[in-house]
Amino acid sequence: MSKPTVAFFDFASCEGCQLSAINLAPQQLLELLEVIDIVEFREALSEKAYHYDITLIEGSITRKSDIPRLQDIRNRSDLVVAFGACAHIGGINALKNFQRPEEYKKAVYPDTPDLFETDIARSIDAFIKVDAFIPGCPIDTDEFVRVVKNIVLGKNPDIPDYPVCVECKQRENVCVYELGLTCLGPVIRAGCGARCPSNGGYCYGCRGTIPEPNIYGQKDVMRQYHLTHDQMMDQFKLFLNHNKEVF
Amino acid sequence: MGRIINLDIRHITRIEGHGNIRLNVRDGKIEACHFDIVEAPRFFEAMIRGRHFDEAALITSRICGICSVGHQLASLAATEDAFGLSLSTQEKCLRRLLNAGEYFESHTLHIYFLAIPDFVGAKSVLPLVKTHRDVVVHALKLKKYGHDIGDIIGGRLVHPMASNVQAMTKTPTEKELFSIIGWMQEAKMELMLNVTTLANLSLPDFNRDTEYISLYKPGTYALLEGDIFSSDTGVASYKSYRELTQEYAIPNSTAKRCKHTRDSFMVGALARFNNNYQWLSDNAKSVAERLNLTPKCTNPYKNTLAQYVELIHLADDAIDAAQTLIAMAQPLKVEERIVSPVAGIGIGSIEVPRGILYHEYAYNEKGFIKTANCVIPTGQNGQNIENDMRALVPQIVDKTDEEITLMLEMLVRAYDPCISCSTHLLDVEIIR
Ligand code: SF4
Ligand code: SF4
């Protein structure tokens, strides 16, 4: 049997996920190349193929003119994976959705606000069917390798659907609420090893929410810790733009 | 004669981001020659308005994955400048380490994955896995050192979470610092052993003098602090960065362009090498000599060599920073962060792998951002790339379309443009 062909594409993004995907130890890369055949990776390759078995798409869609390209990629792919927060949940790009277009255009191109096309930033599933996702901003390298192997073997991607708090407790961290910070850990999907609270930070939600998150409970906790409505919303806006129940 | 060259290279591969080259030559005369950045604009300067100072680095980090550390450090420096904060020796050393991590990741990726395949006639690094496995393994190892340092110091290299205004929220253990020293010594040895791989590349013989701009702090190979130095006009305060960048928007490119005294200038490894050569470490200088690289070098293709030299310097500098930290009382404490916002303007200027990066924020008295301005290296280089193309094309006009395309793509790639920053591959369109 020939190896499945894998392609990477990107739209509006920082390309940090593609970068994280190639953050492999030599042995890891060689092993991965035993099971897949990378045929399209603009950042690292100049070859081009026509059909792909597995396509990983990074980035959110912010221009109407990008939609035909996205659909074309979909039509040429058996499986599409939303790769990283921008593609999966709109990512940081969606922060501009909370401002009026005239405002943000003028802030960046004061003299020529209408020179370039831009629209609301959306996740790719707003336009095409998505078969799987790898969450995170950026994605976690080990999770990427694991999920790709899952897919190649025809298994469901092995991505946790419990909250970050679970991993945080496993690591025996002191909850950052005790330290005077606020954290979205209770409603955010684990899988990062509670990276931020474990490194002196707090979870700001880059992996998106767990299925059926208790947003009311989360807001209650944040209120108990004296966050104002605006402060709470500011935290949610960073990565949860596409959770209708939040806003 | 009478040949019409009509090249349209869309989505140039093996660069970070999306860019196009359009070239139109009629009877040996250039009618059009453009380097356009066609990335979707992302509006970060607008998105961070109204955000709290503690979030500025977290958000602007996402401008670019490969320069995320640089964006964070520039962002932190801008905030610290606005609030009048100065950094402890511990914090300065930690930032030097995190920055070394990013340079290792970024320069290695550029030298081995993006630039070298051109010279061995490969379309990418992947075929090299079979033909030059040792080189690929060497490159992956160097890159991994960068990521591992990032994990230790920042929590991760791409969008670190430990870097915060005034002080990191995490400190390395003594054992981790010793590991970093070990990796950097190994990296240096490997780089010095492999110099011939780079020395044997036949780089195009193309020279064009331009203005070179970099950070400047006498006595150091300035990367994280200093004033600005121009090879044309000398030293200027970092506060006058707008004077030295003069941004303007052009129709076909979502990244803004910059100019200073001439209509273009160059930033990046070659500019730093030209301006600050005397402060490179001795090891780095000896590698430069083996690569035949001396200042002032005006061949933009040699930017890749300057990056190689910088890796040696960065390894030496990281070892020094780690040793300084080890000499302090162990275990290192997480420093207390007491930040009192002050209304006003702050500017951060940092040398990221691709050149000098500026962040400027205006804060209100509560520490929320009113306005922001970020000037990105690739935007600063844009016009210089185009000017190089204009100078190069008449010298190579007799070559085939394929050869011209390759040389133009190599030129663009030599600048290591990171277009996701400037807004994002390259398409070359040659119209003869
Ligand atoms: S720090 Fe955050 S992730 Fe950890 S237990 Fe507390 S709320 Fe949950
Ligand atoms: S802790 Fe939260 S913000 Fe940090 S990496 Fe994990 S999901 Fe993302």
Give the pLDDT band (50/70/90) at residue A48.
Answer: low
Termini Cα distance of chain B: 11
Instruction: Give how far A116 is from chain B: nearest CA, Å.
Output: 7
Query: Does residue A230 register a pLDDT over 90?
Result: no
Q: How far, CA to CA in Å, does A110 sit from each of A103, A173, B49, B262? A: 10, 46, 15, 24
> What percent of chain B stands above pLDDT 90?
63
Report the distance separating Cα A22 and Cα A85, nearest Å. Answer: 17
pLDDT at residue B35 in the model: 81
The answer to whether the CB atoms of A107 and B16 lie below 8 A apart is no
Q: Chain A to chain B, count of Cβ pairs less than 8 Å apart?
A: 170
Residue bearing the bigger pLDDT, A232 or B359: B359
Rounded to the nearest whole angstrom, what is the distance from the C-alpha of residue A192 to the centroid of ligand 2?
6
Residue bearing the bigger pLDDT, A172 or B401: A172
Rounded to the nearest whole angstrom, what is the distance from the C-alpha of residue A221 to the centroid of ligand 1?
12
Flag whether the ipTM exceeds 0.90. Answer: yes
Rounded to the nearest whole angstrom, what is the distance from the C-alpha of residue B268 to the centroid of ligand 1?
41
pLDDT at residue B255 in the model: 64
Place of tokens 């002196």: A200
pLDDT at residue B422 in the model: 37
Tokens matching residue A199? 């490194």
Contact between B339 and B53 under an 8 Å Cβ cutoff? The reply is yes
pLDDT at residue B406 in the model: 85
Chain B partners of A63 at a C-beta cutoff of 8 Å?
A: 40
Long-range contacts of B237-245 (CB under 8 A, 24+ apart): B238/B347, B238/B349, B239/B347, B241/B347, B241/B349, B241/B358, B241/B360, B241/B375, B244/B213, B245/B358, B245/B375, B245/B380
Q: What is the 3-state secondary structure (H, E, C) of chain A?
A: CCCCEEEEEECECCCHHHHHHCCCCHHHHHHHHHHCEEEEECCCECCCCCCEEEEEEECEECCHHHHHHHHHHHHCEEEEEEECHHHHHCHHHHHHHHCCHHHHHHHHCCCCCCCCCCCCCECHHHCCCCCEEECECCECHHHHHHHHHHHHCCCCCCCCCCEHHHHHHHCCCCCHHHHCCCCCHHHEECCCCCHHHHCCCCCCCCCCECCCCCHHHHHHHHHHCCCCHHHHHHHHHHHCCCCCCCC
Contact between B45 and A107 under an 8 Å Cβ cutoff? The reply is yes
Output phi, psi for B245, to 5 deg: -120, -35
Tens of pLDDT along chain B (432 residues) come to: 457 777 666 665 555 456 778 888 887 788 888 887 766 677 888 889 999 999 999 999 999 888 999 999 999 999 999 999 999 999 999 999 999 999 999 999 889 888 888 888 777 777 788 888 888 899 999 999 999 999 999 999 999 999 999 999 999 999 999 999 999 999 999 999 999 989 988 899 999 999 999 999 999 999 999 999 999 999 999 998 988 888 777 766 666 778 887 889 999 999 999 999 999 999 999 999 999 999 999 999 999 999 999 999 999 999 999 999 999 999 999 999 989 999 999 999 999 999 999 999 999 999 999 999 988 888 888 889 989 999 999 999 889 888 888 888 888 888 887 654 433 234 445 555
The answer to whether the CB atoms of A234 and B51 lie below 8 A apart is yes
The answer to whether the CB atoms of B63 and A91 lie below 8 A apart is no
Nearest to A219 by CA among A189, A180, A245: A245
The predicted model scores a pTM of 0.93
Give just the sign of the alpha carbon dihedral A141, A146, A151, A152: positive
Report the distance separating Cα B398 and Cα A144, nearest Å. Answer: 47
Q: Is B228 helix (H, G, I), strand (E, B) or coil?
A: strand
Give the pLDDT band (50/70/90) at residue A29.
Answer: confident
Query: Does residue A143 register a pLDDT over 50?
Result: yes
The answer to whether the CB atoms of A66 and B140 lie below 8 A apart is no
Rg (CA), chain B: 21
Q: How far, CA to CA in Å, does B284 sit from each of A102, A231, B289, B297, B303? A: 50, 49, 9, 16, 15
In DSSP notation, B41-108 reads P--HHHHTTT-BGGGHHHHHGGG-STTHHHHHHHHHHHHHHHHT----HHHHHHHHHHHHHHHHHHHH
Q: How far, CA to CA in Å, does B90 sit from each of B95, B180, B350? A: 9, 16, 18
Most confidently modeled of A108-122, A153-167, B403-417?
A153-167
The answer to whether the CB atoms of A92 and B47 lie below 8 A apart is yes
Q: Between A13, A112, A199, which is nearest B170 by CB? A: A199
As a whole number, mean pLDDT of residues A54-75 equals 92
Output phi, psi for A51, to 5 deg: -120, 140
A3 C-beta neighbours (distance < 10 Å), count: 13
- For the Cβ of A240 lying below 6 angstroms from any atom of ligand 2, the answer is no
pLDDT at residue B22 in the model: 81
Query: Does residue A182 register a pLDDT over 80?
Result: yes
pLDDT at residue B11 in the model: 60
Q: Domains of chain A by range and CATH?
A: 5-152 (3.40.50.700), 164-239 (no CATH)
**Residues facing B236 on adjacent strands:** B228
Q: Which residues line ligand 1 (CB under 6 A)?
A: A 164-165, 168-169, 173, 175-177, 183, 185-186, 194, 197, 203
Rounded to the nearest whole angstrom, what is the distance from the C-alpha of residue A185 to the centroid of ligand 1?
5
As a whole number, mean pLDDT of residues A218-230 equals 89
Nearest to B296 by CA among B244, B237, B350, B232: B232
B254-273: pLDDT as tens digits = 667 788 878 899 999 999 99
pLDDT at residue B405 in the model: 84
